[in-house]
Amino acid sequence: CGECGGFGEIWNQSLQVGENDDADSVLENELAAERESEWIDENESQICPACLGSRLNPIARHVRVQNMTIDNFTALSAGAAAKKIERLKFTGKQK
């Protein structure tokens, strides 16, 4: 997600999306945001309003496989995900 930098939460948006003037590169911004995320209390951050915590960009959020989005699928437990995969049936061009 471009708003939260893929964290699913907002706490320091300029750092999270690479707009920090102190860093020399995008990678440095990403590493700094990752380090900072480990020290954030739950009450210091909010769910990202753009991705609603899914951490996905708009295109990825619109991909569907038999009416299930990527974030719906990854929210399942491992057992439920395995059962869902077993039940998937593809025909024609879907194969």
Summarised one tens digit per residue, pLDDT across range 27-54 is 776 777 777 766 676 677 788 999 998 9
What values do phi and psi take at 19, rounded to 5? Answer: -100, 15
Integer Cα distance of 73 and 80 in angstroms? 9
More confident residue, 36 or 65: 65
Nearest-CA neighbor of 81 among 68, 63, 62?
A: 68
Q: What is the pLDDT of residue 85?
A: 92
pTM over 0.75: no
Integer Cα distance of 35 and 11 in angstroms? 13
Tell the burial category of 24 from Cβ atoms under 10 Å away from its Cβ (0-12, 13-18, 19+): exposed
